[in-house]
Amino acid sequence: MTETKRIPIILDGDPGHDDAISWVLAHGCGQFDILAVTSVGGNQTIEKTTYNTLRVCTLIGLNAPVARGCYHPLNTEQMNAPTVHGESGLDGPALPEPAFAVQEISGIELWARVIRNCDRKVTIVSTGPLTNTAAFLLAHPELKDRIERISLMGGGCLFGNWTPAAEFNILVDPEAAKIVFESGIPILMAGIDVTEKALVTPADFERIRALNNPVSDIVWQWLEFFYRFHKTMGYEGAPMHDPCAVMVLIHPEIFTIRDFYVQIETCGDYCKGATITDWHGTLGKTPNASCLLDLDREAFVNYLIDSIRTYGEVEK
């Protein structure tokens, strides 16, 4: 694929096993022009997710500029998820030390620079809390129209995973999510309605292990680690939440997608962080999000494996 046909994107996440695998997919599939990678606090502190971002980019040979994102959620205390991703935020196999350093400018200023310099509109792929995206929109409203769309992992039309009502990424920074969902920028929402069905099973781990390249060797171990926690909750595989936000940009045909009006609950005793989805259109509002509801799991896994296979081929 020629460079001009690639989709220009910024990767923003809190790696995190499934964030890391979504970046393996994004780089491996060869269909994106990755302009920048930024970290956000979520699965672990911003210090740890930034270090993990550098380690993952080093592992997969992703040579985009990396910058540290916001230090805190917009208006609430930072929350992390060590039970799911470990104390490092990316526990499991040993990773290479970073081969390069973060940019001296902030993540927000890096976004501004690459978006300004890009001759096409840029897609944001957000796989963590939406803090950086909201902070960018507040700091650079003049660049809003230069964003093609935001493909995000977060929320759920019907239920939550961190509380009965809220999914983790939205719960960590609901004010940021509210700004993003009210921005008017086209949103692709990969919520847990679909991501909990994007399971990579132990049989799939073996297929990945058999690829036997430097990235597959790490990915199957990440999957095993991630599955260990989810198995205790009754899952039959590792849910690939974050890779859905990447996959939908290159293979939308494998997903069931419906447009809804989605509001964010920023407070409340029971529903803080909920993505309140107007399923029956009772509010009469124009939809602001295209929500992923279902997927062809086998096709998803096959495409994921195809992307991991490329790391054993030519130099990327």
Residues that bind ligand BDR (CB under 6 A): 16, 18-19, 43, 81, 84, 127-128, 153, 161, 167-169, 241-242
Nearer to ligand BDR, 54 or 112 (CB): 54
In one letter, which amino acid is 289? A
Distance, in Å, from the CA atom of 257 to the CA atom of 290, rounded to the nearest integer, reads 6
Nearer to Ca ion, 127 or 151 (CB): 127
Q: In what order do the strands lie in the sheet with 187-190?
A: 66-67, 32-39, 7-13, 122-126, 147-153, 187-190, 289-295, 255-260
State the minimum distance, in angstroms, from the CB of residue 156 to ligand BDR.
9
Instruction: Please identify, among the stretches 8-16, 74-82, 230-238, 308-316, the one whose residues bind Ca ion according to the rule CB under 5 A.
Output: 8-16
Distance, in Å, from the CA atom of 193 to the CA atom of 122, rounded to the nearest integer, reads 26
Question: Which element (helix H / strand E) includes 21?
Answer: helix 17-28
Q: From the candidates 230, 241, 251, 280, give the one annotated as an active-site residue.
A: 241
- Residue 55, binding choice from ligand BDR, Ca ion, none, Cβ under 5 to 8 Å by partner class: none
Nearer to ligand BDR, 23 or 168 (CB): 168
- Residue 81, binding choice from ligand BDR, Ca ion, none, Cβ under 5 to 8 Å by partner class: ligand BDR
State the minimum distance, in angstroms, from the CB of residue 15 to Ca ion.
7
How many distinct helices (H) and strands (E) make up the chain? Answer: 12, 12
Torsion-angle region of 61 (φ positive above 0: left; ψ -120 to 50: alpha; else: beta)? left
For position 154 contacting Ca ion by CB under 5 A, the verdict is no
* Beta-carbon count within 10 A of 216 CB: 20
- Residue 161, binding choice from Ca ion, ligand BDR, none, Cβ under 5 to 8 Å by partner class: ligand BDR
User: Which letter, b or e, does each residue of 27-51 get, where b requires 16 or more Cβ atoms within 10 Å of its Cβ?
Assistant: bbbebbbbbbbbbbbbbbbbebbbb
Torsion sign over Cα 164, 170, 176, 180: negative
Considering only residues 19, 167, 173, 204, which one is a binding residue for Ca ion as defined by CB under 5 A?
A: 19
State the minimum distance, in angstroms, from the CB of residue 259 to ligand BDR.
22
* Among the listed residues 4, 24, 25, 22, the one whose alpha carbon sits nearest the alpha carbon of residue 13: 22
- Residue 156, binding choice from Ca ion, ligand BDR, none, Cβ under 5 to 8 Å by partner class: none
Nearer to ligand BDR, 112 or 173 (CB): 173
Considering only residues 8, 11, 16, 147, which one is a binding residue for Ca ion as defined by CB under 5 A?
A: 16
Find out whether 302 and 308 touch, Cβ atoms under 8 Å.
no
Nearer to ligand BDR, 48 or 241 (CB): 241
State the minimum distance, in angstroms, from the CB of residue 298 to ligand BDR.
22
To the nearest 10°, report the CA torsion of 295, 301, 307, 309: -170
State the minimum distance, in angstroms, from the CB of residue 249 to ligand BDR.
16
When CB distances to ligand BDR are compared, the closest residue is 168
Site for Ca ion in 236-255 (CB under 5 A): 242
Give how far Cα 255 sits from Cα of 72, 122, 169, 250, 292, Å.
33, 22, 21, 11, 6
Instruction: Please identify, among the stretches 17-25, 53-61, 129-137, 307-315, the one whose residues bind Ca ion according to the rule CB under 5 A.
Output: 17-25
To the nearest 10°, report the CA torsion of 274, 128, 304, 114: 130
Tell me if residue 140 is catalytic. Answer: no
State the minimum distance, in angstroms, from the CB of residue 234 to ligand BDR.
16
Give the burial class of 119: count Cβ atoms within 10 A of its Cβ; 0-12 exposed, 13-18 middle, 19 or more buried. Answer: exposed
Site for Ca ion in 118-137 (CB under 5 A): 127-128
Which residues are tagged catalytic?
Answer: 241
Q: Where along the sequence are the contacts to Ca ion (CB under 5 A)? A: 14, 16, 19, 127-128, 242
